[in-house]
Amino acid sequence: MRLSSSLPLRTALFAAVCLPFTAFSADTRTPSIAGIVYGEAAGETLTMDYYMPAPGPVPHPIAVIIHGGGYIGGTSKNGSEAYCADFLAPAGYAVFAINYRLAPKYPYPAMVQDVQRAIRFIRAHAPEWRADPQRIALVGGSAGGYLSNMAGLLNSPGDPSAKDPVDRESARVQAVVTLFGPSDFRGKPMNPNVHALLDAPIQERGQDAVFAEASPVTHVSKSAPPFLLIHGDKDEAVPFAESTNLQAALRAAGARCDLIRIPNGPHATGGWYKVPGVPDWERQMTIWLNQRLNHDGPVGAGIKAREPQP
């Protein structure tokens, strides 16, 4: 179902109740509602998809999935990240997978601002989804992991004087799960994707200032929400050290940060189920979220079966 401007949100949610729970299976992943508009920026309509949680105690905790794509591509339906809806919705989470503006047309900080807007919108409308505005987790992968790192660490408050009531809401979250996400641009060469993201602000303010501002690790503080980092140690796109360094910084600041290492794991989750001896990271991630968000949902449904090894 796609939510258009002519279809009231409450009506769409009522219709979504009738959708089969099999919509969460890995082979037939279909949002309960697609294309919910959560804002507009620079003439662009910002949308997200909603995956209805399995029946259970209300209000439901919230998981906001942020797709990857190297800052320049991808959508809310990217398999590597959207796969998390397959096992979080059956665990009782109200899952929202968001789209955001992409570089180079919209360089930093546009996509960070879009993630913050999505959090505020979901928090403002949480009762309409029978969801809990005080139990929101971010789940980002790759470039989306960069964004979950940034939005989680910035802890942006609402603007009490904003005309839009959504903008009065806080963008603070209660937990962050980052899969193979960049954490620091400093001290390393820029690849074409980072150029697309940062060239414009660098031309205005200089590389050192922008690298410092745009690097999640520089925003670490004791007030950070709990973090879970999941990363393959053979990641060819985002080095494993991006997670270990962020973990060290968070722990040094007195914040909680746990790490699940995927031995011999490449970039993205798509091939992990084929890696011999891969940890049961989906189950561990769900249990971790349940503990952080004080949720007692079931664990295990929707997890992709491991490929038998010869």
pLDDT digits (tens, 9 = 90+) for 35-79: 999 999 999 999 999 999 999 999 999 999 999 999 999 999 999
The predicted pLDDT at position 1 comes to 45
Q: What is the pLDDT of residue 4?
A: 40
With beta carbons less than 8 A apart as the criterion, state whether 57 and 291 touch.
no
- Convert the pLDDT of each residue in 138-173 to its tens digit: 999 999 999 999 999 999 999 999 999 999 999 999
Mean pLDDT of the chain: 92
Q: What is the pLDDT of residues 200-258, one digit of tens each?
A: 999 999 999 999 999 999 999 999 999 999 999 999 999 999 999 999 999 999 999 99
pLDDT band at 308 (very low <50, low <70, confident <90, very high): confident
Q: Do 267 and 232 touch, CB atoms closer than 8 A? A: yes
Identify the pLDDT of residue 26.
Answer: 39
**Which domains are seen in the chain, by residue range?**
9-292 (3.40.50.1820)
Strands 131-141 and 60-66: parallel
Parallel/antiparallel/unpaired status of strands 175-179 and 131-141: parallel
pLDDT for residue 9: 53
Q: How many CA atoms lie within 13 A of 246 on its CB side?
A: 38
> Per-residue pLDDT averaged across 251-279, rounded?
95
Residue 310 pLDDT grade (very low, low, confident, very high; cuts 50, 70, 90): low
Question: pLDDT exceeding 90 applies to what percent of the chain?
Answer: 87
Q: What percent of the chain has pLDDT over 70?
A: 90
Bridge partners of residue 196, in order along the sequence: none
Confidence label for 29 from pLDDT (cuts 50, 70 and 90)? confident
